[in-house]
Amino acid sequence: MTTSGGTRTSSSAWRRSCSRLRSLAQVLAAPAGLLYPPECLRCGRALPSFRVLCADCAEDLPQLEGNRCLRCGAPVEDPLVDLCTSCGTRERGFDRVVALGPYEGPWGGLVRALKFDRETAVCRWLCARLAEAALADPSIGEIDWVTFVPMTWAERRARGFNQARRLARGVARRLDLPLRRSLRKTRRTAPQASLPAAERRRNLRGAYRAVPSRGGRVLLVDDICTTGSTAEACARTLREAGCASVSVLVVARA
């Protein structure tokens, strides 16, 4: 697998080596790690333990660069402006979108390894990074509970799992906060990536409903944020249900 940023990855080799380790772990334990060491997902370097990235590749992961909207993280051309057009001209359902990095390049490769290859080790690694980001970013502030962007039953069956729920569960555990299924998706929608930005809001209109729960300060977790339409639709639904604030935490910002 090759990321869009031209960074070489070795997801298949890494997956094969980890599969062999999992099948032998109960019998051979440590010796299995010596026979079939996992490989760095980016550079292919052998790893000494059940890691996803080597220390060099983990340290070299890109951050969001350039002038960015303080609310949603979208690029802003004018360095004197701190909000994008969408956030500066209308009310937003969410208070802040926090992302680990840009989707282009290695962060996108990690997301795809989770979504399409079902890499549980990648999920655990991303959960740890997301929890660290939530604790380190002062704009998120105090959180009462964690939730996630839902799927319909048909969408979840087609994929086999909801990656946003898995990420949210790991984040909630690391932050020692309750995880609540606060949203329900009422109908299947067209993939957001296949639609122009103007049609994405229309595609999601009325697609989410809040599950009855007490209000509070919510952390909404998802894998990626592109135009912010999904985050907006979910956050508005939560605010209308009585939540005091909604912060959005994602792996990657497209």
Q: What is the CATH number of the domain that holds 134?
A: 3.40.50
Residue 52: give the domain boundaries: 11-56
pLDDT value, residue 196: 72
Q: Measured in Å, how far apart are the chain's first and last C-alpha atoms?
A: 19
State how beta strands 96-102 and 245-253 pair.
Answer: parallel
Are residues 70 and 115 both part of a single domain?
yes
Between CA 157 and CA 38 the distance in angstroms is 29
∠ CA(73), CA(8), CA(252), 5° rounding? 15
The amino acid at residue 159 is R
Residue ranges of the chain whose pLDDT lies below 50: 1-11, 14, 17-34
pLDDT value, residue 36: 59
The amino acid at residue 164 is A
Are residues 89 and 195 both part of a single domain?
yes
pLDDT value, residue 200: 73
pLDDT value, residue 12: 53
pLDDT value, residue 42: 87
Are residues 144 and 184 both part of a single domain?
yes
Between CA 169 and CA 181 the distance in angstroms is 10
3 located within any domain: no
pLDDT value, residue 2: 36
26 located within any domain: yes
pLDDT value, residue 194: 67
Are residues 42 and 109 both part of a single domain?
no
pLDDT value, residue 47: 84
Q: Considering its fold, how many domains does the chain have in total?
A: 2
Are residues 78 and 106 both part of a single domain?
yes
Outline where DSSP puts E strands in the chain.
Answer: 96-102, 145-148, 183-185, 208-210, 217-225, 245-253
pLDDT value, residue 167: 98
